[in-house]
Amino acid sequence: MDLKSPETLVCLKGVRKTFPLPGGSPLVAVDDVSLTVDAGTAVALTGPSGSGKSTLLHLIGAIEKSDEGDIDVAGQRVTGLSGRALAAYRRRIGFVFQRFHLLPTLTALDNVMAPLIPFRTDFDKAARARELLAMVGLADRAAALPSRMSGGQQQRVAIARALVNQPVLLLADEPTGNLDSHTGGAIVDLLLNLRDEHGTTLIMATHDATIAARCDRAVHMRDGQLTTEAIS
Ligand SMILES: Nc1ncnc2c1ncn2[C@@H]1O[C@H](COP(=O)(O)OP(=O)(O)OP(=O)(O)O)[C@@H](O)[C@H]1O
């Protein structure tokens, strides 16, 4: 039995994010959120529309800047990063979105390779992208354009792309929101399999209670705040 105590990968303390509103007081999208996530676990972020789930993921991934509080990921203070350090941090985070966001004129293979830094020559980029496409079950679709793929296949390409820089953390924002329940279930299988096989840490916003129940933990948001955890 492994008696090692779990390692904290993500630590948020008193995080707050507001958006200016024309002519009024600012909208508080994330309000004094404190949260820790252990390495190698899958955490579901649930809550009604507008409760702040996407904003919280954007803050953790440093797509948005918080107004207050501290965010640490893999021992690095994320809040306050700028310039090259910020760009380098963003490359260490994998993001999967509800609408896939693939580049429509690029093949599946080129979409997966897109986040790789062009001047790196210390490994075979196409070989890595092919490996990832095989891992998500799309070895035979490398040359396909997104328009020729189903929604589930496009999301698999997006997951392969999110993994190409070997991220320390995978953030998924309603990754099954545009898929039927069967296809969505298979995408969640794939994401949870990454946790099981590769120790990937996953934070996933979802409206789907069945999906949340499959994660190690679910935390619930309401009006920008974390409320009692739905599942422990
Ligand atoms: N860029 C922005 N400018 C202004 N307000 C914003 C911005 N982004 C989010 N908001 C507001 O912040 C609040 C939280 O939004 P957010 O998208 O994080 O919620 P959510 O829980 O992810 O919702 P959904 O489940 O519908 O995606 C909402 O009131 C939203 O309108």
Angle subtended at Cα 195 by Cα 194 and Cα 198, rounded to the nearest 5 degrees: 65
Q: Which residues line ligand 1 (CB under 6 A)?
A: 19, 27, 29, 47, 49-55, 205
Work out the pLDDT band at 117, boundaries 50, 70, 90: confident
- The fraction of the chain above a pLDDT of 70, given in percent, is 95
Alpha-carbon gap, residue 57 to 61, rounded angstroms: 6
How many other C-beta atoms lie within 10 A of the C-beta of residue 156? 25
Mean pLDDT of 109-138: 88
CB 26 within 8 A of CB 18: yes
**What's the gap in Å between 54 CA and the centre of ligand 1?**
7
Q: Which residues pair with 68 in a beta bridge?
A: 16
Specify the pLDDT at position 3: 55
CB 72 within 8 A of CB 14: no
Q: What is the pTM of this model?
A: 0.93
Q: What is the pLDDT of residues 41-69, one digit of tens each?
A: 999 999 999 999 999 999 999 999 999 99
Polymer length in residues for the chain: 232
Domains and CATH numbers, the chain: 1-92+170-177+200-232 (3.40.50.300)
Please choose from 53, 67, 226 the residue to mutate so as to test ligand 1's pocket, defined by most ligand atoms within 8 A of CB: 53
